[in-house]
């Protein structure tokens, strides 16, 4: 079952019959206004300028101005790929003011990715996007505390993708606690990190896959510590979101980016 859950992840493309078991990704809250993350609030224009929406129904963040960091389960095999469109510069996907759309040229998927762990990938764009990038953690120093997640995914389990970027805060969950929950015994320590509330209510959801989980560093700047990967349902009690532990793969990500 764990392999099935991870294969489905929190992609927006999952079929209706699979929605009950897809993983949760960082998204905002369900409110009166349209929102993309369960239990989140709408992000302000320019609040997270590094956020990217990908045309296959996933999220991502600008690693460089020409490379997007996302989840491996969102992309195909490593190689040339011109079939992905990245949208950036807006929180409202229907807004044309400030919206930037760029096609992909190449994809790099983490070597050895098979649905369990190693859930990261890079997408090279046809041209740079002149927006701030999101630096990634290179040590485990920031792998605790409270994290921010954001995305255009569903505002409720099984719901539709959203027009507006939503944000939410979720607390770190230790490996031991995360593994104690039903369906999470296969958590891969050192490659995955859990975050969420035991009571549920706030989480990423379908369509948030590949988006960043981030927090402030010692200097007050945003730093990415996770990539939305999988989970059981969306915002259920005792079912936190699971994120790729970015610091583990920081060197590999940097090396791969240099080859694109």
The stretch 94-114 carries a mean pLDDT of 96
Residues 27 and 127 in one domain: no
Confidence band of 9 (pLDDT split at 50, 70, 90): low
Note the Cα 113 to chain centre separation in Å.
17
Residues 141 and 26 in one domain: yes
Hey, is 8 helix, strand or coil? helix
180 is catalytic: no
Round to whole Å and give the CA distance between 244 and 228: 7
Supply 52's token pair: 């990217």
In what helix (H) or strand (E) does residue 2 lie, and over which residues does it extend? helix 2-8
pLDDT tens digits, 124-175: 999 999 999 999 999 999 999 999 999 999 988 988 889 999 999 999 999 9
Q: What are the backbone dihedrals phi and psi of residue 251, each rounded to the nearest 5 degrees, phi first?
A: -65, -40
pLDDT tens digits, 176-206: 999 999 999 999 999 999 999 999 999 999 9
Round to whole Å and give the CA distance between 14 and 6: 12
* Domain containing residue 183: CATH number: 2.40.10.10
Whole-number pLDDT of residue 17:
26
Which residue is catalytic, options 119, 203, 208, 229?
Answer: 119
Which residue is catalytic, options 28, 209, 229, 247?
Answer: 209
Which residue is catalytic, options 23, 28, 73, 203?
Answer: 73
Q: Structurally, how many domains does the chain consist of?
A: 2
Round to whole Å and give the CA distance between 104 and 260: 11
Residues 160 and 176 in one domain: yes
73 is catalytic: yes
Round to whole Å and give the CA distance between 63 and 257: 9
- The closest of 88, 122, 82, 76 to 103, measured between CA atoms, is 82
Alpha-helix runs per DSSP H in 98-245: 175-180
Whole domain around residue 235: which residue ranges? 2-43+136-248
Round to whole Å and give the CA distance between 256 and 245: 17
Whole-number pLDDT of residue 161:
86
pLDDT tens digits, 37-67: 788 899 999 999 999 999 999 999 999 999 9
Supply 104's token pair: 């992909």
pTM: 0.89
């Amino acid at each position: 079952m764990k392999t099935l859950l991870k294969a489905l992840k929190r992609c927006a493309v999952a079929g209706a019959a699979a929605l009950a078991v897809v993983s949760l990704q960082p998204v905002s809250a369900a409110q009166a206004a349209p929102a993309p993350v369960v239990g989140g609030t709408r992000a302000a224009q320019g609040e997270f300028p590094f956020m990217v929406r990908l045309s296959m129904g996933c999220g991502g963040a600008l690693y460089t101005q020409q490379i997007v960091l996302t989840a491996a389960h969102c992309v195909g095999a490593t190689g040339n790929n011109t079939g992905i469109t990245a949208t950036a510069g807006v929180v409202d996907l229907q807004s044309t003011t400030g919206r930037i759309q760029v096609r992909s040229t190449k994809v790099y998927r983490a070597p050895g990715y098979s649905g369990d762990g190693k859930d990261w990938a890079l997408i090279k764009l046809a041209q740079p996007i002149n927006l701030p990038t999101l630096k990634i953690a290179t040590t485990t120093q920031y792998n605790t505390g409270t994290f921010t997640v954001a995305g255009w995914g569903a505002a409720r389990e099984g719901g539709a993708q959203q027009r507006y970027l939503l944000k939410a805060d979720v607390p770190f969950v230790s490996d031991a606690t995360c593994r104690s929950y039903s369906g999470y015994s296969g958590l891969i320590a050192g490659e995955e990190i859990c975050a969420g509330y035991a009571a549920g209510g706030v989480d990423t959801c379908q369509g948030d896959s590949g988006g960043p989980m981030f927090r402030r560093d010692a200097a007050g700047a945003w730093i990415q510590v996770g990539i939305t990967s999988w989970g059981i349902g969306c915002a259920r009690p005792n079912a936190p979101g699971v994120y790729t532990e970015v610091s583990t793969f920081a060197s590999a990500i940097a090396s791969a980016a240099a080859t694109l």
